[in-house]
C-alpha cells in the first residue's frame, strides 16, 4: 500500500479544506528525522560547495531556485534517493504554492525514481494527506490555465499510480454534501476537463492524451466519468446554473459527457 491516506474514501467536510497549513505541518514533522548527508554525491561543476552548504540547512529555508535546481539534478549530478527524500516537504509545499521552478510532473518522476512508495508509512501518509488537502483546495478555487484539476492529476500521476482518493474527493465535491460555492467550483473543474482538455468525447482513447504521464491514469478517470454520480451531478449543476453566464459551457460539458459515455459503452 503506497499511502493509506490516498485510498481513504471517507468524506470529511472541514474548515481546514481551504488551508494547507495543518497538512504541511504534519508533512514537515513526518520528515523531521531526515538529516543532510555531509558527503552527498555530486558533480562540483554542477552543484557548488556553497549550494551544498545551503541545502544542508533546515529544509524549510531552502529557496525555490535552489530547490528547483536540486530536483533537476537529483539522481544524475546531485544526490541519491535519501537526499531528495529529505527535501520532500519543502518541494511539495513549494509546488503547491506554484513556487517550484520545475514542472510537478518532473518532481513526481524524480520522487518515483527515488522510491517514495517504499518510504516509511508515516512519511508516505503525510505526503498523501498533504496532496489530498492540496487537491481539495484546488477544487474549491476557480479554474485558470495553470489551475485545473485534470492537469494537476496528470502531473501527479507521474509518480502515483492510484488516483482513486483524488477522484473520490472530486466526486464528493460536486455532490450533494458541500456548500453550493464548493460544488460550483468543483463542477467548473469538471467542465474544464470535458471542454478544453485533449479528451475528445467520441474517442475515449484520447483520454491518454489528457493523461500522458501514466497509462494507468486514463482508465481511472474514464471510470470516474462513467459513474452514474458524475452525470447526475453535472446535470443538476446545469439546471441550478441555467440562468448564469456559466450555463452554455456546462450544457456543452453535459453533451460531451453523454457522448463520451456512449462511446465508452459501445467500445469506440
**Stretch 157-168: mean pLDDT, rounded?**
97
**With contact defined as beta carbons under 8 Å apart, do 210 and 222 qualify?**
no
Asked if pLDDT for residue 191 goes beyond 80, the answer is yes
- What confidence category does residue 178 fall into, taking pLDDT thresholds of 50, 70 and 90? confident
Would you give the DSSP letter of residue 204?
G
Determine how many CB atoms are found less than 10 A away from the CB of residue 46: 13
**With contact defined as beta carbons under 8 Å apart, do 127 and 27 qualify?**
yes
Q: Is 123 helix (H, G, I), strand (E, B) or coil?
A: helix
Residue 130 lies in a domain: no
Residue 192 lies in a domain: yes
What pLDDT is stored for residue 150 in this prediction?
Answer: 97
Residue 133 lies in a domain: no
**With contact defined as beta carbons under 8 Å apart, do 268 and 202 qualify?**
yes
- Give the Cα-Cα-Cα angle 250, 131, 147 (nearest 5 degrees): 40
Residue 221 lies in a domain: yes
Residue 124 lies in a domain: no
Residue 129 lies in a domain: no
Domain that holds residue 63: 15-119
Question: How many domains does the chain fold into?
Answer: 2
Model-wide pTM > 0.75: yes
**Stretch 63-75: mean pLDDT, rounded?**
97
**Stretch 31-42: mean pLDDT, rounded?**
94
- What confidence category does residue 13 fall into, taking pLDDT thresholds of 50, 70 and 90? very low
What pLDDT is stored for residue 88 in this prediction?
Answer: 98
Residue 231 lies in a domain: yes
Amino acid at each position: 500500500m503506497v499511502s493509506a491516506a490516498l485510498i481513504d474514501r471517507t468524506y470529511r467536510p472541514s474548515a481546514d479544506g481551504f488551508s494547507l497549513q495543518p497538512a504541511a505541518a504534519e508533512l514537515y514533522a513526518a520528515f523531521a528525522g531526515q538529516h543532510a548527508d555531509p558527503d552527498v554525491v555530486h558533480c562540483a561543476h554542477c552543484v557548488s560547495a556553497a549550494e551544498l552548504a545551503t541545502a544542508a540547512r533546515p529544509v524549510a529555508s531552502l529557496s525555490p531556485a535552489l530547490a528547483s535546481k536540486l530536483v533537476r539534478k537529483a539522481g544524475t549530478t546531485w544526490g541519491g534517493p535519501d537526499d531528495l527524500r529529505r527535501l520532500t516537504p519543502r518541494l511539495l509545499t513549494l509546488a503547491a504554492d506554484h513556487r517550484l521552478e520545475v514542472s510537478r510532473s518532473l518532481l513526481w518522476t524524480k520522487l518515483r525514481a527515488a522510491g517514495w512508495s517504499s518510504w516509511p508509512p508515516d512519511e508516505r501518509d503525510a505526503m498523501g494527506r498533504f496532496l489530498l488537502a492540496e487537491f481539495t483546495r484546488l477544487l474549491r478555487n476557480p479554474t485558470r490555465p495553470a489551475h485545473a484539476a485534470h492537469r494537476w492529476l496528470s502531473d501527479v500521476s507521474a509518480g502515483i499510480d492510484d488516483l482513486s482518493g483524488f477522484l473520490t474527493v472530486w466526486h464528493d465535491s460536486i455532490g450533494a454534501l458541500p456548500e453550493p460555492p464548493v460544488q460550483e467550483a468543483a463542477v467548473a473543474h469538471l467542465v474544464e476537463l470535458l471542454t478544453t482538455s485533449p479528451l475528445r468525447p467520441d474517442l475515449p482513447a484520447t483520454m491518454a492524451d489528457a493523461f500522458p504521464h501514466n497509462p494507468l491514469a486514463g482508465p481511472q478517470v474514464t471510470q470516474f466519468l462513467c459513474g452514474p454520480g458524475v452525470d447526475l451531478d453535472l446535470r443538476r449543476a446545469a439546471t441550478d446554473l441555467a440562468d448564469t453566464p456559466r450555463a452554455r459551457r456546462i450544457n456543452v460539458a453535459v453533451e460531451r459527457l453523454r457522448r463520451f459515455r456512449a462511446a465508452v459503452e459501445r467500445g469506440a
